[in-house]
Amino acid sequence: MLKSIELDTREVNNQGTPDYWVANVRQGQFSSRYTTNLGRVQGLNYGSKLLYTNSDWSSKAPADTMVKIGGQEVRVTAAADHVLTLSEPYLGASIIPTLTDTGITASGVIAASSLAINAPGTSIISNHVLNGAKLYCGGCSFRAEHSDNAATIKSATSLTISTGHDCHTDAVSSGDILYRRTDDPSNQNLYKSTDTAAATGALLTTRGSPDVYVLAHTATEATVATGYDVGTSVFTIDAGTNALNAATTGTTENWFVNGFGPYSATALVATDATDFTLDTASGGKAALDFNSATFTGAKMQVTATGTSSTVSAGDILALNGRRYKVKSSAGDVSGKFTLTENFAGGQLVQVCSACVSGVSVASVITTSQKVSVNKGDYVLVGGYVHDNLKIHVSEAQGTANDDTTVTGVGIRMGNCAAPHCPSGTATAIAPASNLALYKEINSNHYVGSKITETSQDVFQYVSQCSNRGTCDSATGVCKCFKGYSNDNCDNQNMLAM
């Protein structure tokens, strides 16, 4: 990353009218790809993948279109006439539409396809919620989808709405106003690239590392049944419902436990195996961290057998809102490829603020409001945000993953042993005031996008500071390693040879 351009015009007699632009962030070098303005975004909440539109963009931005919103470069995974589904959660400030009071209030909670309302009373008010009306209540967007006319709706106590919204069932309370949502002229625009993209399949990435692993996650995720035996170097696997592989697995694949690794096996792992012998010299997390009889439900993953057919050297990938170039691909059963620079993702999205009322010894999180996380996610509790304290969600929540209980397993939070827990005993967390809940995104089980760039491509993909220094993101200035100099550290002297 280079510092912003500075122009010295003191010796210029005819300065004319300045016309310039500055890219203050790495992804800015790709901004000129996005020259097609699709129009203003009507609504998009922080942490959501649902982008609501003012008009039908389904033909202008169909699935696999690359778009840019608020500095994030993402792929459209599905397109309807009123909403686009993005490949990644939106991490900017919520984009709110213009809201108009319909005169109707909610009388109960919102469900997957209905909203309990107080009867409108008049046909004039009912006209606000006819079929196709774009609505908003409790901080959540959805659309009316029914065949009723105004006269029928006038006395109705329930309104049929679109499925697929991401509202929690307790987002709407009795008495909340039901709004019509329309265009706000001050909202951000959505830009489209002519490049195309397709899903990469499941990846495992690590923040600060250029190594990316292709996961063979279909029917190959096992859970640790009784933990790790430090004496025998064996993980005991629950293979009853989680076959490790449809065929015998060898010793060259990479293995991960609760996102930590890579580990390797010391012997072949047979189909439906019930244990896995860890090579303690293979690196990854210290074996002692898994030495606990209560370490159950942890996720074990194995990499795919080969990457050359899907990811090759020179490929361009969209990961975590920006593009990376593949430096090399192993092309064997290791399931690993390497980027030209370190992965900068592994971000956290806030699921809720001041909502966690407690965490049990068994890593069961209790919240004061309903939250949505999926089995397999990694979550962290405010005040305990550390890689060692993340919790793997080991069980699905209630209907539509919408519940006040998150059941998981951690290494050091709840499920831990001496010397990591005080007195060798795990302790529950009962905070005096509720804590925030965060979810890790764009790392484990992350589906990125493989980019096919158009002929307009004149961009050179380079690593920050030429891979010869570190970049201060606040100033855009490189701090070069010993033996290198220049703004981008591309000059080498005798000390570096």
pLDDT, tens only, 14-28: 555 444 433 333 333
Q: Where are the domains of the chain?
A: 1-33+463-497, 98-182, 216-302, 350-440
pLDDT of 435 higher than 90: yes
The answer to whether 461 and 323 are in contact (CB under 8 A) is yes
| pLDDT attached to residue 194 | 87
Choice between 230 and 209, residue whose per-residue pLDDT is larger: 209
Percent of the chain topping pLDDT 70: 76
The residue ranges of DSSP E strands in 125-254, in sequence order, are 134-137, 140-143, 158-160, 177-182, 189-205, 211-214, 222-229, 234-238
**DSSP classification of residue 213:** E
Render pLDDT for 229-249 as a digit per residue (tens, 0 to 9): 777 778 877 755 554 544 456
pLDDT of 287 higher than 80: no
CATH class of residue range 350-440: mainly beta
CA distance linking residue 343 with residue 26, whole number of Å: 13
| pLDDT attached to residue 205 | 87
Mean pLDDT (the chain) is 80
CA distance linking residue 89 with residue 213, whole number of Å: 22
Q: Which two tokens stand for residue 465?
A: 């500071």
pLDDT of 81 higher than 80: yes
Mean of pLDDT values over 413-433: 68
Residue 8: pLDDT band (50, 70, 90) is low
| pLDDT attached to residue 21 | 39
Render pLDDT for 312-322 as a digit per residue (tens, 0 to 9): 888 899 888 88
Percent of the chain topping pLDDT 90: 32
Choice between 274 and 422, residue whose per-residue pLDDT is larger: 274
User: What pTM value is reported for the model?
Assistant: 0.79
pLDDT of 457 higher than 60: no
Choice between 405 and 422, residue whose per-residue pLDDT is larger: 405
List all residues 6 or more positions away from 125 whose beta carbon is below 8 Å from its beta carbon: 102, 103, 104, 154
| pLDDT attached to residue 34 | 78
Instruction: Tell me if domain 98-182 and domain 350-440 are identical in fold.
Output: yes
Among 147-151, 432-436, 490-494, which stretch is predicted with the lowest mean pLDDT? 490-494
Mean of pLDDT values over 430-443: 89
Among 129-143, 185-199, 292-306, 400-414, which stretch is predicted with the lowest mean pLDDT? 292-306
CATH class of residue range 98-182: mainly beta
C-alpha pair distances (Å), 426 with each of 76, 287, 292, 343, 360? 44, 18, 11, 33, 9
Render pLDDT for 156-199 as a digit per residue (tens, 0 to 9): 999 999 998 988 888 899 999 999 999 999 999 999 988 889 88
Q: Which two tokens stand for residue 50?
A: 């649902």
Mean of pLDDT values over 134-157: 94
